[in-house]
Amino acid sequence: MTPLLQTAVELIVAAGLVGGGFFALVGSWGLIRLPRPMQRLHAPTKATTIGVGAALLASSIGDLPQGGTISIQEWLITLFLLLTAPISALFLAKTLILRGEADPDIPDSGTGQPWATLGQERPDP
Amino acid sequence: MLKRLFPHPYLSLTLIALWFMLVNQWKLGSLVMAIILATILPLMTSAWWPDRARVRHPLRLLGYTALVFWDIIVANFQVAYVILFIPRDKVQSRWLTVPLDLKSPEAISLLAGTITMTPGTLSSDMSACGRALLVHALHAPDPDSVRDQIKSRYEARLKRIFE
């Protein structure tokens, strides 16, 4: 690997680490700063997308300047985050709606049916 | 016969790819293990996923993924701006109702996931009949444009891929 390419990769790694740290920090700051529960739910979706994604990109190519190879295990972590984060966020949102702690004035669904969480209670399966 | 052995071919292919990412090296032994897992896991879970997912244009999913990744990056900067610079009482959080044209459950799950992962919007609930999504927007002075963007940018593409 030529020295120029080596420097370029090191720059990308540094940018990934600093950028990822910055967005994770912004996400955490949003968690403190935003007043309502539904708004706070937006913060974790940020820290997992760019924050973790950029840090994992840096980790994935971090061995290249020392003659290593690109590691693809990090992509797996990103993939699992992309799969699980929306589901946990949906669970939290549904819990907030059910307990009446979400933002008020939820609009009508426009289909003649209620929202699934607020619909009539189903018997336990 | 082949259909009964592999009830979800896409799931099987995904599991093979996942296993190779997990072991992080290319060896024949890993391929054997990957094929064993790709056979057993879909068979054991097929009771909870009876219908075969139909993807009309699997290759277009790659383009969709690239679009979503780009949007995640752009939207992150927008939300960082909202968190850092807009005064707390000026943040206009809104609920939106997104009526759905999609019918396939896989496509709707993908749309809901996309909405949540692009920061600034969060899919929160679905109507009991499955024809509308409840979306929470962190800062949307113009909720109608957010809804139109979700419909034209993501839902129309998913409809072309799945239906």
Question: pLDDT tens across A11-58, in order?
Answer: 989 999 999 899 888 888 888 888 888 888 887 777 667 888 888 888
Mean local confidence (pLDDT), B83-107: 85
Residue A110 domain flag: no
Q: Are B131 and A82 a contacting pair at CB < 8 A?
A: no
Q: Classify residue A55: in a domain, yes or no.
A: yes
Token pair 């959080």: residue: B93
Total domain count for chain A? 1
Does the global pTM surpass 0.80?
yes
Interface test with chain B among A22, A25, A26, by most B beta carbons within 10 Å:
A26
Nearest-CA distance from A95 to chain B in Å? 10
Question: What does the pLDDT look like over B7-16, one tens digit per residue?
Answer: 777 888 888 8
For chain A, what is the radius of gyration of the CA atoms? Answer: 21
CA B55, A57, A30, B141 torsion: positive or negative? negative
Tell the residue number behind the tokens 């426009």, with chain if given.
A110
Tokens 């929160």 found at: B124
Q: Do A86 and B123 touch (CB under 8 A)?
A: yes
Contact at CB, A89 and B116, closer than 8 angstroms: yes
A109 located within any domain: no
Type and span of the H or E element at B102:
none
**DSSP code for B149:** H
Domain, as residue range, for A80: 3-98
Chain B, residues 26-55, CB within 8 A of chain A, namely: none
Across the range A66-85, mean pLDDT stands at: 81
The domain ranges of chain B are 2-48, 60-162
Residue A116 lies in a domain: no
How many angstroms from the chain centroid is the CA of residue A3? 35
Query: HSE on the CB side for A16, CA within 13 Å?
Result: 18
Q: Do B93 and A36 touch (CB under 8 A)?
A: yes
Q: Give the gap in angstroms from C-alpha B3 to the nearest C-alpha of chain A.
A: 26
| A50 inside domain | yes
Q: Is the ipTM of this complex over 0.95?
A: no
- Tell which A residues from 64 to 123 touch B, by Cβ distance under 8 Å: 71-73, 75-76, 79, 82-83, 85-86, 89-90, 93-94, 97, 102-103, 105-119
Over its C-alpha atoms, chain B yields an Rg (Å, rounded) of 19
